[in-house]
Amino acid sequence: MLFSVNPIKFGTDGWRGVIAAEFTFERVAFLAPLVAKILADNYGTPDRTHQIIVGYDRRFLAEEFAQVAAEAIQEAGFDVALSQSYAPTPAFSWTAKQQNALGAIVLTASHNPAKYLGLKVKGAFGGSVSREITQQIETLLLAPPTFNSKLGTLSYFDPWKSYCYELQQKVKVKVICEAIVSGKLRVFTDVMHGAAATGLERLLECSIEEINSNRDPLFEGGSPEPLPRYLSKLFNVIKTSARQGDDGLKVGLVFDGDGDRIAAVDGQGNFLSSQIIIPILIDHLAKRKGFTGEIIKTVSGSDLISHLAKIYNLSVYETPIGYKYITDRMLTTDTLIGGEESGGIGYGTHIPERDALLSALYILEAIVESGKDLGQYYSYIQNKTGFYNIYDRIDLPLANIEVKTQLLKKLQQESLTKIAEQKILDCSIKDGYKYRLADGSWLLIRFSGTEPVLRLYCESTTTKQVHKILNWAKNWANSA
């Protein structure tokens, strides 16, 4: 009955569904103990606690769903540590590792629209579990076990204290604060009504100009996703500051709904995606902090990353899209940074998990120590590598599953030789269909793992060419 319609399926990072339709209290209460059992089966050891961490973001009913999940896990015989408040998802991942727990579940739908809620699963190591683990959960849904009737314990914890302390050890907090207090650096943050609210101020222990810090489960009618169309307030604040003759360095930092993804805005009000942020972070971490290790990127990551890696003699490893694939690699190799185009960035110095607040600290440290605006820093890296790139992406909502089926069939059966008048040199199907073109451009066509959306990604040397290729791809998709 629970799963005959819209069965629970895990996407690139957890299970998500429309509240009161797919995502219900009954389903969460059924699913949560099964997740706990799979975590115990895979990570339970004699020296590990029998505890599951349960956290949540600021979405509609998120704390109530977390309470239901915690009680269901407790009734199944597991010990539960339930968060006393909302916090970013990486705070709960950190807690799972720091507390030597079996893992964590987080009630969040990340960047999705307000009608969604979801459940992310984190392993004992402090990161997203693999596809093999989520498949085990899906299998158990079809044949659920009988649990021990012995009641576990339920305790509560502050998700911020240990997490903030851990992050503060990784950067020169005093140097950043001094720059802010002296007026050399002005920091604006847009937390998009999400779980990163108050985060940067807690970390830096000085006043930060925070935008959209109130809880709004409707996200002002948009989505808590760090994309330009949702950032009009931040753009206006920074541009107003520039017009008023504020000569100090300025930066805007943007966090998604559960605080694991980041974007930025430079002092002139230009939007900077992680395609720009990641190269800046690589340069800062390798040059100023002397970090080494492999750079892990997804198939949609900018080619600038590879050009910069060559300068520092760092290897690059490419994964499918979805941070769990980066996590899998981080668990097996010495890593400098692992990043994805959508804003998720993690570090070998921390847990194998994307963490927007740690990224924000590293970005601020890079600005202060270089004395460069982020836009200037990006131009510096382009000049340094001799690689000049423009990137953009289009998300096309799909009417129904039949449209997705038709487009997949078209991709599989068509033998494309040209895209936007450019000859196709090769096509990678590691994740979606990534075409490399004769002029050095690339186009990636793939379906979202969490929403009924077709994503079109492109990088080229000019804005005109990027738009030309994306328009070609949009027309191709609409002709199906």
Percent of the chain topping pLDDT 90? 87
Read out DSSP for 18-75?
A: EBTTTB-HHHHHHHHHHHHHHHHHHH--TTS-SEEEEEE-SSTTHHHHHHHHHHHHHH
- Relative orientation angle of helices 131-142 and 25-43, to the nearest 10 degrees: 120
Confidence label for 130 from pLDDT (cuts 50, 70 and 90): very high
Residues 433 and 289 in one domain: no
Domain assignment present for 426 = yes
pLDDT of residue 1: 43
Average pLDDT for the chain:
94
Average pLDDT over residues 144-157: 92
At CA 264, angle to CA 259 and CA 270, rounded to 5? 150
- Domain co-membership, 225 together with 335: yes
The model's pLDDT over 92-115, given as tens digits with 9 standing for 90+, comes to: 999 999 999 999 999 999 999 999
Same domain, 229 and 187: yes
Residue at 444 is within a domain: yes
Whether residues 209 and 82 fall in one domain? no
The mean pLDDT of 135-150, rounded to a whole number, is 92
Confidence of residue 414 (pLDDT cuts 50, 70, 90): confident
> Quick one: 352 and 394 in the same domain?
no
CATH number of domain containing 420: 3.30.310.50
Both 232 and 369 in a single domain?
Answer: yes
Instruction: Tell me how far apart the alpha carbons of residues 78 and 90 are, in angstroms, rounded to a whole number.
Output: 22
pLDDT at 166: 98
Classify burial at 332, counting beta carbons within 10 Å of its beta carbon; exposed 0-12, middle 13-18, buried 19 or more: exposed
Same domain, 375 and 239: yes
Bridge partners of residue 122, in order along the sequence: 104, 128
Residues β-bridged to residue 418:
423
Alpha-carbon distances, residue 100 vs 49, 94, 95, 160, 290 (angstroms): 6, 10, 8, 17, 30
pLDDT higher than threshold 80 for residue 450 = no
Same domain assignment for residues 76 and 187:
no
Q: Which residues constitute the domain of residue 450? A: 390-478
Count structural domains, the chain: 3
CATH for 254 = 3.40.120.10
Cα separation, 61 vs 92, in Å, equals 18
Q: What H or E segment, with its residue span, contains residue 403?
A: helix 401-413
Mean pLDDT of 126-137: 94
Per-residue pLDDT, 87? 98
Domain boundary residue, one of 338, 361, 385: 385
Stretch 42-48: mean pLDDT: 94
Report DSSP state, residue 145: P
Q: pLDDT: is 121 or 404 the higher one? A: 121
Question: Which tops the pLDDT comparison, 455 or 149?
Answer: 455
